[in-house]
């Protein structure tokens, strides 16, 4: 069974062209939605993915209708293949039921893995370079020895409420109470 999925990014856009082409291609059911592809949750796509069964084919008008990032596309197509569900695009002619389509999919997968590794290598190199220059990552510590000493001294004066100590030291109540425990 061919199951279609059509998507446009905004309410102003029209789904008619995609729906017509999906129906001409033989899709018996077409899921449609108007939501940005960058959105984490796309209800109709999730519905279509839960509807397709082993032996079915999920069909989209163009590859970018399924997802915005290569990683996202590969994750979706991997899930489909794990369940013996094929995937096809009408405009690009991408079809995982053919040997050529499987090859293209594996090339995409290899490129995505390569991209992830390059990003990790760059990140690690950048962190090493920063450490070599004496820069440490992360958020600066609010709780210094000086703040702890001043907080304890101010807290001994029972006429000063914790709210005023916090505003004087420019710290939150949780940091104040952490300083008092030390």
**Which are the catalytic amino acids?**
9
Asked if 25 and 59 touch (Cβ cutoff 8 Å), the reply is yes
Torsion angle defined by CA atoms of residues 137, 140, 143 and 144, in that order, rounded to the nearest 10 degrees? 90
- Give the DSSP letter of residue 139: P
Q: Residue for token digits 């069974």?
A: 1
Cα radius of gyration rounded to whole Å, the chain: 27
Does residue 1 carry a pLDDT above 90?
yes
Closest to 42 (Cα-Cα) out of 60, 21, 23: 60
- CA end-to-end span of the chain: 67
Residue 172 half-sphere exposure toward CB, CA atoms < 13 A? 5
pLDDT single digits (tens) 9-32: 888 889 999 999 999 999 999 999
Q: Quote the pTM value.
A: 0.61
At 40, is the pLDDT very low, low, confident or very high (cuts 50, 70, 90)?
Answer: confident
Task: Average the pLDDT over 38-54 and give the result.
Answer: 88
pLDDT band at 104 (very low <50, low <70, confident <90, very high): confident
Element (H, E) at 141: none
- Which has the closest alpha carbon to 35: 6, 64, 10? 10
State the SS3 of 7-58: EECCCCCCCHHHHHHHHHCCCCEEEEEECCCCCCCCHHHHHHHHHCCCCCEE
Alpha helix segments (H runs only) across 66-98: 70-82
Distance CA 95, CA 164 (A): 67
Could you read off the pLDDT of 74-87 as tens digits, one per residue? 888 888 988 999 99
**Percent of residues, the chain, with pLDDT higher than 70:** 98
């Amino acid at each position: 069974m061919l199951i279609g999925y059509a998507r446009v990014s905004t309410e102003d856009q029209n789904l008619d062209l995609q729906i017509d082409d999906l129906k001409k291609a033989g899709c018996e059911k077409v899921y449609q939605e108007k939501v940005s592809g960058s959105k984490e949750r796309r209800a109709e796509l999730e519905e279509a993915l839960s509807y397709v069964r082993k032996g079915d084919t999920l069909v989209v008008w163009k590859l970018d209708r399924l997802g915005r990032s290569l990683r996202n596309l590969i994750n979706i197509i991997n899930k489909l293949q794990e369940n013996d569900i094929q995937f096809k695009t009408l405009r690009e002619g991408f079809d995982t039921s053919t040997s050529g389509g499987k090859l293209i999919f594996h090339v995409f997968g290899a490129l995505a893995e390569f991209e992830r590794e390059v990003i990790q290598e760059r990140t690690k190199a950048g962190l090493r370079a920063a450490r070599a220059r004496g820069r440490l990552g992360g958020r600066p510590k609010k709780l210094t020895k000086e703040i702890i000493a001043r907080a304890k001294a101010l807290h001994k004066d029972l006429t000063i409420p914790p709210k005023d100590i916090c505003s004087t030291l420019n710290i939150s109540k949780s940091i104040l109470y952490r300083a008092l425990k030390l």
